[in-house]
Amino acid sequence: MNSNLKKNQFHVYDIELTALTNKVNNALEIDSLWNEVGIQAKDYYLSFAADLEEYCTSETVDTSSPNIVISPNSNMYSPFLAYQICFMDTARIPLFLDYQRNFFEGNHYAPKDNFIGLVEFFVFTQVKNRSLTKTEKRLEMILNWVRSVKNGFTQKNEIKTLKWIGEPSELKKLSELVSDDGYTVTSVTFRNVFTDKVACKWKKEPNTLAFLIHRLYHEGKIEIDQSGKGYLKAAQNYFSDFSKGRLSQIILKDRIHEVISKYAEKNQKNRERVENWLDSALEKTEKLT
């Protein structure tokens, strides 16, 4: 990000993909580490690889380049911000966040003046779910940095997030079914929205997604992390269409209306597909009439 750096060089606080990938790969080889944290190394790798592929695709990255620095304006910025924090010295976290804040220009999840909110609500949760060592210390350093920067400032643009309150096994199964039918890139993409607060690109028609989120909310399987209404407003922070980009609250609401009433007959297959997913993944399901 530093324009004064020569080609093939990067600042110590840039998020450089080759260096970060090497750190992840080194961790994968430490068997005792995975036994201690209770996470499957394979699952961790698949999640990281999916994020890496999505970033490179969305940003049209030349993977042959010797140094690839994550753009702070990418919609895939926060997952890599979290990964970097997970694999760096805890004492350097505040300095790293200070550096990154200077270059943040805003993206789909937070405007330029809300880098603090991005860190507090998105990155904090992602670090909590992805950190392999000194997790509590890392989280403490993040919150201490947020407090020091806020200095009494109250966030006006609180980012609504979705929370899975069903059984974890239900979410895992549902995410796999969605992927098997070709609606997401990997079997963990849909699940990561709720576990890691990672954005999801929906590969097919958005009507199915809108109805799925609608059904999950009314099934009592998802809720909004922050108090109040607005599950569609929370959903718009995480889901985008491969061809049309952001799926806003208004678009999702319109799609639900189309599926349930306006074009009900035309969307019969979309409803049936969602109901089949829920029947297979959820322990109890009462269908809408």
pLDDT tens for 234-279 read 898 888 887 666 688 888 999 999 999 999 999 999 999 999 999 9
Over 60: is that where the pLDDT of 181 sits? yes
In percent, how much of the chain has pLDDT > 90? 60
CA–CA dist 38, 22 (Å, integer): 22
pLDDT of residue 155: 46
The predicted pLDDT at position 38 comes to 80
pLDDT value for 5: 36
How many CB atoms neighbour CB 30 within 10 A?
13
**What is the pTM assigned to this prediction?**
0.64
Q: Are 100 and 13 in contact (CB under 8 A)?
A: yes
Residue-wise pLDDT tens digits, 184-221: 989 999 998 998 888 888 999 999 999 999 999 999 99
Q: Please report, for the chain, the start and end positions of each structural domain, with discontinuous segments joined by +.
A: 17-150, 162-281
